[in-house]
């Protein structure tokens, strides 16, 4: 690999909860080229799980749709970037949605901790969303540093 060059991957999955595990394993295998610790792998897998689950449950509200998972490694900087996108219902108030314990779920089954977990396990989390257009979650983690 050329010095400073980035490696990328892109995965498109159906918005089914069973695909959450597949997405997190694919990202974990992809990030292995940065020689992460087991703890770093677990952190990223948890964050990816939360982002994909949010897309399935909140973005598409368990309806049919596509979720795009992209990942990029910058070997020189030992940086992993993961982006999870959906074209679901979007988030009207991103700041409120990112508050711990906030959930739009009315069944009482969700804890509202998805974004909090992403922020706890990753170094950076950005959420860009527009009602009726979808949501993009961009997460970064420095590996080995």
Contacts with 117 (C-beta within 8 Å, 6 or more apart), sequence order: 46, 47, 50
What does the alpha-carbon distance between residue 44 and residue 144 come to, in Å, rounded to a whole number?
13
The residue assigned the tokens 């795009």 is: 68
What does the alpha-carbon distance between residue 46 and residue 44 come to, in Å, rounded to a whole number?
5
Contacts with 51 (C-beta within 8 Å, 6 or more apart), sequence order: 82, 84, 114, 118, 137, 139
* Catalytic residue status for 19: no
Identified catalytic residue from 20, 24, 40, 50: 50
* Catalytic residue status for 14: no
- Side-by-side strand order, sheet with 79-86: 6-14, 66-74, 79-86, 134-142, 124-130
* Catalytic residue status for 63: no
Identified catalytic residue from 74, 110, 119, 142: 110
Would you name the residues annotated as active-site residues? 50, 54, 110
């Amino acid at each position: 690999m050329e010095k400073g060059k980035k490696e990328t991957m892109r995965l498109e999955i159906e918005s089914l909860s069973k695909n959450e595990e597949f997405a997190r394993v694919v990202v974990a295998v992809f990030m292995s080229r940065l020689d992460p610790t087991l703890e770093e792998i677990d952190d990223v897998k948890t964050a990816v799980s939360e982002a994909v689950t949010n897309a399935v449950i909140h973005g598409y509200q368990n309806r049919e749709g596509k979720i795009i998972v992209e990942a990029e490694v910058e070997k020189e900087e030992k940086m992993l970037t993961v982006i999870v996108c959906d074209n679901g219902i979007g988030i009207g108030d991103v700041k409120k949605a990112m508050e711990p314990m906030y959930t739009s779920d009315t069944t009482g089954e969700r804890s509202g901790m998805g974004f909090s977990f992403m922020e706890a396990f990753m170094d950076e989390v950005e959420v860009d969303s527009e009602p009726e257009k979808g949501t993009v979650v961009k997460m970064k983690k420095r590996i080995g540093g």
